[in-house]
Every structure is written in C-alpha cells, then in structure tokens.
C-alpha cells in the first residue's frame, strides 16, 4: 500500500519516527509521502525522505501559513524541489473554516504556488476546507498543471466529478470509518476505484478503531478495508489499485 499523505516531519513523531516507519512497512505500506506545511517543515520532510528509502516528500505552504511567505520562501522551496525524493508540491489550497490567514491572502498565495508547481512540473496536493467553490474556480483556470489530488476530500459528489474531470484524484482518509461520514462513503461508493487514493494525514484523523490515538501510516490499512467493504471489492484489489494510482501520480517506483 501507499500512504499518499502523511506528516512524519511533525513533532508528534520526533520520539519514535523510525519505529513508525518500520511499523508501516511491517503492515504492508510500501511507500509514504510526507507533506510539508510550511518552509521549515518542508525542509524536515525532504530530510526524512532522503534518509528513508520508503519515504518521499512534498514541499509547499499550507493555507494556514499563507502569511508566513516572504520574498525568499519560493526560492527556498524551488531549491528543495531539486531533491530526487520530492514528488509533489503541496499542501496548498484554501481553508475558510479556520481562516488562520486572511481569505484574500490565501487566494493570492494559492495562485502563486500553483504558478511555481506548474513551473516545476510537479503534481499538486490540494487542501480545501469550506472553500469548495473558490477552489474549483481557481483550478479550472489552470491548464498546465501536472495532475494532482484533493486530499482529505470534503466536498460533495458533484465536486468530486468536476475534480476528476480536471484530472485530479480524490484522496480518502480515516474519516471514512467514522459513523457520521455517510456522505463520504456515498461518494466513494460512486467513484471509480482508479480515481481514489488512500491516506492517513497522520498524526491527525485516526481511523476506527484507533480513534483518539495518534495516527500513523500503518493505519492506512483500516481506510482501505472500509473502502473495500463499501465498494464490494477485495482488500487486495483496493490496495493494489490505489497504490498504482499513487505511483502514477507521484512517479514512484514499483514496490
């Protein structure tokens, strides 16, 4: 399997990161994509990816941190992307739920980072929370993107179809195991398996039965099992197809 979106660079993993990566491998997780949320965490993500064969990285600035970007940020991110272990640009996008950065600044920085991703030829990892209309409008105006994924998808089925039509994958986290996630389960039921990725977003969003504990890449198997139940497929089929989808998007080698 491939955990297409983790945050191994965060402090929650400082005490046992190597053990976490080992447990992932023991659970059948072949690769992990660890995703930067600001410049410093992007540096950490790349360093971790360069240390561990099974870890790859994405670099970028999360919308929460849009106001942290200065004149040197993009040059630094561009240099980081020179690493062979960097396979995507992100996590970027819009978050109008928490609004930790002003909405107009989020939109401006989102556009700037899409420009950089296009220039680098990297697929993008999109964060969208309570900004579905704006996210779709911005993405529809882009014709030179190298594909991407809507991570922790929280839109409706119509949005999912529009994103797929633009060439994006839909990524499903452990929330699909939650009792109140019927809308997400219905979307997953309708979407072709070859358009889905699985992720943990660890250390956040632990799936049942691990809810309340720190999430980690090994737990992505719970998400895949729930998807298999919803779609009437075998776990092995879901693991194989979603992993192939991730390899195709991020240019990862065969496991």
Instruction: Write out pLDDT tens, residues 114-134.
Output: 999 999 999 999 999 999 999
Mean pLDDT on 17-45:
98
Three-class secondary structure assignment of the chain: CEEEEECCCCHHHCCCHHHHHHHHHHCCCCEEEEECCCHHHHHHHHHHHHHCCCEEEEECCCHHHHHHCCCCHHHHHHHHCCCCCEEEEEEEEEECCCCCCCHHHHHHHHHHHHHHHHHHCCCEEEEEECCHHHHHHHHHCCCCCCCEEECCCCCCHHHHHHHHHCCEEEEECHHHHCCCCHHHHHHHHHCCHHHEEECCCCCCCCCCCCCCCCCCHHHHHHHHHHHHHHHCCCHHHHHHHHHHHHHHHHCCCCC
Chain centre distance of CA 200: 9
pLDDT digits (tens, 9 = 90+) for 59-70: 999 999 999 999
Query: What whole-number distance in Å separates Cα of residue 85 and Cα of residue 253?
Result: 11
pLDDT at 55 (0 to 100): 98
Q: Is the pLDDT of residue 78 over 90?
A: yes
pLDDT at 226 (0 to 100): 98
pTM above 0.75, yes or no: yes
Counting residues of the chain whose pLDDT is more than 70, the rounded percentage is 100
């Amino acid at each position: 399997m491939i955990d297409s979106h983790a945050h191994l660079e965060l402090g929650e993993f400082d005490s046992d990161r190597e053990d976490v990566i080992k447990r992932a491998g023991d659970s059948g997780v072949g690769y992990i994509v660890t995703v930067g949320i600001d410049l410093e965490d992007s540096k950490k993500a790349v360093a971790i990816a360069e240390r561990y064969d099974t870890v790859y990285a994405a670099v970028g600035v999360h919308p929460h941190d849009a106001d942290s970007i200065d004149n040197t940020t993009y040059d630094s991110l561009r240099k980081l992307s020179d690493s062979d272990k960097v396979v995507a640009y992100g996590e970027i996008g819009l978050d109008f739920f928490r609004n930790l950065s002003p909405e107009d600044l989020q939109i401006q920085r989102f556009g700037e980072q899409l420009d950089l991703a296009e220039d680098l030829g990297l697929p993008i990892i999109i964060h969208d929370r309570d900004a579905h209309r704006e996210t779709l409008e911005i993405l529809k105006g882009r014709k030179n993107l190298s594909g991407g994924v809507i991570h922790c998808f929280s839109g409706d089925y119509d949005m999912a179809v529009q994103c797929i039509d633009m060439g994006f994958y839909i990524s499903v986290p452990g929330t699909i195991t939650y009792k109140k996630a019927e809308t997400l389960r219905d979307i997953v039921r309708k979407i072709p398996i070859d358009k889905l990725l699985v992720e943990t977003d660890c250390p956040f969003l632990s799936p049942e039965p691990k809810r309340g504990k720190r999430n980690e890449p090994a737990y992505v198997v719970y998400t895949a099992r729930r998807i298999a139940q919803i779609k009437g497929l075998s776990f092995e089929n879901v693991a194989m197809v979603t992993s192939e989808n991730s390899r195709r998007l991020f240019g990862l080698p065969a496991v």
